[in-house]
Structure 1
Amino acid sequence: MNYDMLKLAVEGLSGGKNTIILDDRGMPSFMVRVPRLRNSDVVAGATQNTHPAWIIDGVEKNNIYISKYQNIVKGDRAYSLPLMDPRHSLNFDQAKQFCENKGMGWHLMTNAERAALALWSKKNGTMPRGNNNYGSDHSAAHERGIASTGLDSSGRIQRVATGSGPASWAHDGTTDGIYDLNGNVWEWFGGYRLVDGEIQIIPYNNAAMHVNQSVNSTLWKAIMPDGSFVDPGTTGTLKLDAATSSPSGIRINTSIQNPTGGSSSANETFETISAASGVDIPEILKTLALFPQDNSDHGQDRVYMRNEGERLPYFGGRWDLTSNAGVFAVSLGNPRSHVSTLIGFRSAYVDL
């Protein structure tokens, strides 16, 4: 089947929700089209402003395209293909490069994009299940994927093949959705980091361009309680602080009062992350899914963090994380150099 026939078939069968996009070598990836949203579409009481995921270099986009499947790597490029063992054991910079090697518009999925999917799923009641309990979902043991790697020492399934689970493992609850955002392997994503606890982002969705996301990049910005972007290290910026000196729990603060370091870390379910007394939470933190819009159920998805040094995020959870996995689950506990069989990635595309 040639490319035009394949594209026509995929778009026809999905009603235009799915498509095939070629990279600069003419190789296909299965992608899901996500139309532009406003902040108010996904966050109750928010403004009518366009969600940051659709604002790139000051231009509002009509669509972004997210890999339907966790990615594999062939010939130093990332691909979204069904029924594959997802690539793992790569660091942040490698994941970013595999995506950008595909050509203009291709990029490592960003925090703005992850947030849009997570918030949309919650708003529409389709929080995806997935491989978070050794091949099945912890809350629906009858839902299983196809094992794509060897069993563990106890004979249990680890990773499953991309998209091999039921429709409930997709972000919209249908076979046209984005698969495996809950469990299987964690996924590196771009445009967001912690530096000594300070929340830093590359504003809007500018991380979707082939921009510098290195340690010393000048594109990183911190966030003030009024939502303005300022240079990192500015006094009074928003930070992730442990809620107690133990340390345990997570809160948003304007200073680090309870540091974590070495092997210590703090964690909290996303919906119970709080703000320190007197600290205002701007809309941008809610639209980027860095702070819960309310304390209602967010799937019990858990956030992990260390507020020492540079920490790069991965999201979604892994095959054994049970209720702690999900679209709001994020780990900020490791540096960009971290490599693990538990961590993979996903590319995205925007027409630049």
Structure 2
Amino acid sequence: MTLPLSHHDIYDAALDDTLFDILPQRLAREMNVPSAIFFWLHPGNMQEISAGTQPEANADYIEILDQDPWMAEVKDERANSGAFRLTDHVSAEAFEKSVMYNEITLKHRLDRFWCLGMIQDTRDGRVVTAFHKGKQAGDFSDSELGFVNRHTRDLGRLHSIRRELIRNNIREIAAADRTLQGEMPIFDLDHEGRLLRMNGMAETLLLLHPLLILQRNRILAIGGPKKQAFNAAVGNATVAAHSHASWLDLPPMRAQDGRILPNLRLNLLPQTTNGRRALVIVTTEDAAELRSDFYSPQEKISLTQRERDILTGLVKGLRRDQLAHDLGITVPTVDLHSGNLRRKLGARTMLEAVAIAFKAGFL
């Protein structure tokens, strides 16, 4: 006997292509319906991201997908609001007249007529989950709608995190020897937030990011106003009764050595193996930029000789007019170079620029 689908089953599918591909089938099987499919709707692109339970018609289906009455009901106001019946918006009679019904359902003898759908937004586009039943089975009941809604939040988190991982080119988390892969920063925490494992990029991030703190008891913490939110997210990802995934965004920030770090998303994913644990997988909107930042030397911030001269003079305590006299330039030119220095070093004042320059090794 197959055990009911749990939230752990859903989150495990974020990191495993095989589990993700069979997840719609498991949902359909528990509802005793023939078909369930995930669609990813990226701006300008619509594609089936999971074959569902009746893949034999997929080639034809994709060709006329934009004529599907159900897909026409994928509207902003229904996103993230739970499941709904297609017949709440499109009559069965109208569906029978559609190209989708006559060219796909009848032609391929698919057991699809009634439809239950759910629309969820991610940072990388929209995901649609569609459940189908045959014509003789009758429309979806309130209890079937309730079944889908019980999984709404878990499925939404699954799709959001999975899309993050795909965009950052993260396909596997651990190698054969259980060491964490190195594509993006990854931390492995226990239920108290204590660091169990991390990869090389995570170690680098700890050294660079001013808000990431590894305390003496090896508990990973976030400084600043998001401290409590991170602690709560770790607790929610590892609670025994009903752990769930979540994420926390960190804004662009200057690193300890002066380089600029982009916006980061900390994705917290529950783990079912070896006790109550959570993976913290760091992603960003531009993974290539983050990798470049990590592997580039500090000299990525390139200063001209004149800008270095300005810094040296400021360290000596020289005023703007004294700098201009010593360097043989005008005061407005000193101001121009000073403005360039502040911009390159991400400083609000010249005093802060000098402090950053010291830390980055320019002085």
Bin for the TM-score computed over the shorter chain: under 0.3
Query: Which TM-score applies when normalising by structure 2?
Result: 0.24
Compare the two structures and name the one with the higher helix fraction: 2
Rg larger in structure: 2
Query: Which TM-score applies when normalising by structure 1?
Result: 0.25
Compare the two structures and name the one with the higher strand fraction: 1
Higher relative contact order (CA 8 A, sep 6+): 1
